[in-house]
Structure 1
Amino acid sequence: MIPALAPLFIADFQHYRDVLVLPDDPRVGVPLRTFLTSEYLNDALTRFASAYPDSDPRGLASIWSKYYFIKLIPPVVAASLILNQRLPLSLDHLQLILDEGGLPAAFKLADSGQRWTPTPADAFERFDDLLEQHLGPFIDALARHFRLSPKVLWSNAGNYFEWLLGVLANAMPHADLTHGHQLLNVQLLPDGSRNPLYQPVRYIKVEGQDELKRQRRVCCIRYRVNGLDYCANCPLS
């Protein structure tokens, strides 16, 4: 565990205690650049695919990415929004720790980062390391390797980002989540390009139901994996 992040790992967040770790963690990690440019990626997906024989590799890669994002995004985003901690997230400075099934188990960071001083002016400054130094090159590499649309992977990441903001709002009603919501609700990045995390989720009215239904905008193609069906939030179901 990273001591600076200890205040986060309480209640429902306790299971993230050993997800972001420092170089002294004894578990074997693989540099992320190496993982994405070698047979490590194929090996991880092969181990994961053993539970779903004869499945479409694109579907498998999408589901695998969900495990990756649910490990990475909640502690990283919470550390930034709640503790104002900037973590070193570049692929060049991270190692990925896998479990026996080829799934992401933890991330070994080069150091514990530092407090944001001064506080970032906007969401794009706050989350630049996450978007530009990590998610962007990671998603590009994974999409290229498996010939999968990057939109599917960005949607997977955005789905967990949006979900986390709801969790934090409920657990910490007075927390300032402005930058998190801003990131998901601005169509264009500062350079004028499309924001790949723009509104990954929508809430729609369903006849006969009082509560709005949470629905992803882009399908995660989970149905392409043998034994799995559309997820509860699928726009195709």
Structure 2
Amino acid sequence: MHDLVLRRDEAGVATLTLNRPDKLNALTPQVLGRLHEHVDAIATDPSVACVVLTGAGRSFCAGHDLEAISDGDHDAQAEGRAVDAVERLPQPVIGAIRGHCLTGGLELALACDLLVATESSRFADTHATWGLVPVWGMSVRLPERVGVQTAKRLMFTAGRVSGTEAHALGLVDQVTVDDALDETVAALTTEIVANSADALRIIKALLRDSTEMPRRRALDAERTLPYGLPADMADRLGRSPAPRG
């Protein structure tokens, strides 16, 4: 069997590609298990400063494989942990979206830090269409992105929105013409990787902490430097021009 999730590393960027293009990269327990393995390996890999998650072929992900659900071949807890693992990667994670990004695929995309989509991509939560309910985080992460009222509309209607519309809603961070996705994502990763990898990890951890504790506590915690200082701080400051005036 071909690898269900491909990993490619280049210049500090690890690209993970869902690899079931004939099925529009629909998610099965096996796909999510393989994704989780890659994510766990990347989490402790100091050579990786940024991660890109994308799909092979013409779609990011058409959602949970409905045949697997019908056959009872699914484990909501294990599958949810795989999605959580993407969110908890210490490195910044960019979702590169073309084509379909539906339901379970949208839940996976929402675990990324930044989303870049093509204008013609299609986003939707179709749980209600199939008599299903979210178990991988949609009811938490979608309102965090777009607000409760917009999340209700998207989830209640199961309506599809384009990449352009998704950008206007705040669901995606950047939208590109269809043939410029790879170029746009590469430019973004270049900007990110130019920064201190240690600083990026610490900043991401602080941002995560701030959502998981009361505001006053988060402010106080930040000032204690809970994750220390970046190992390359002194080196980078030594190369910086002296402040003026």
Q: Same fold (TM over 0.5)?
A: no
For the pair shown, which has the larger CA radius of gyration, 1 or 2? 2
Higher RCO by CA contacts (8 Å cutoff, separation 6 or greater)? 1
